[in-house]
A and B are shown apart, each in its own frame.
Chain A
């Protein structure tokens, strides 16, 4: 167990809806990163939050947005859901942003868009 939790574990939405996914980072970690993993592929970086501010973003449209709270937990929001948004969404927490630290992943939220 990494100490990183995500909710919900599974979610079914329809195209056009909005979804919010949640992540609680490991105790003491101030950085949360979000990844999207389509079936059969490796995780793709969405964005990262460090001390409540976005600190890097991958190649995802603006309808993917996020928040980080003072306790370092985080949310991923996706608006106007599309069928291709169906994937496993993973969050990972780490202690700093230097890129030399291990990232600890949560169990993921599996999103299905119909």
Chain B
């Protein structure tokens, strides 16, 4: 089963609205990362939140982490059409820390 599972699988919103994506994971982690992928291209690192952090901001991005619920959320405020992409959460492996486990991703479409 997937370590990181994103929810929803697909999200369609209008420009200017906020987009919220959720991620759940199963094991203990020391950090959680969010990545973005434009269609068929490489992944772009967005933000890393450590297990002792509850919230982190980067520009229009806000990430929260709840280790008691083993969940994280990514909020994109004031979305733009250019934010349309797939978003993945990733967690490091238990036995090999640099081995990232990704979920299936959330496909975000921002309509102009």
* CB-CB under 8 A for A102 and B33, given A41-B104, A42-B2: yes
B interface residues, Cβ below 8 angstroms from A: 2, 4, 30-31, 33, 35, 40-45, 48, 50, 88, 92-93, 95-105
A interface residues, Cβ below 8 angstroms from B: 2, 4, 31, 33, 35, 40-45, 48, 50, 55-56, 58, 88, 90, 92, 94, 96-108, 110
* CB-CB under 8 A for A42 and B33, given A99-B93, A100-B97: no
Give the tally of cross-chain contacts (CB within 8 A): 87
Q: Enumerate chain B residues within 8 angstroms of A48, measured Cβ to Cβ.
A: 96, 98-99
Question: In the complex, which residue of chain B has the Cβ closest to the Cβ of A32?
Answer: B98
Question: In the complex, which residue of chain A has the Cβ closest to the Cβ of B101?
Answer: A45
Contact A55 B44 (CB under 8 A): no
Q: What are 28 inter-chain pairs, A to B, with CB distance below 8 A?
A: A2-B44, A4-B42, A35-B100, A42-B4, A42-B104, A42-B105, A43-B102, A45-B100, A50-B98, A55-B96, A56-B93, A56-B95, A58-B99, A88-B40, A92-B100, A97-B96, A97-B97, A97-B98, A98-B98, A99-B30, A99-B31, A99-B97, A99-B98, A100-B31, A102-B45, A105-B42, A105-B44, A106-B42
Contact B45 A103 (CB under 8 A): yes
Question: In the complex, which residue of chain A has the Cβ closest to the Cβ of B96?
Answer: A56
Q: Of the candidates A40, A101, A104, which one forms a contact with B98 in the assembled complex, judged by CB atoms under 8 Å apart?
A: A101
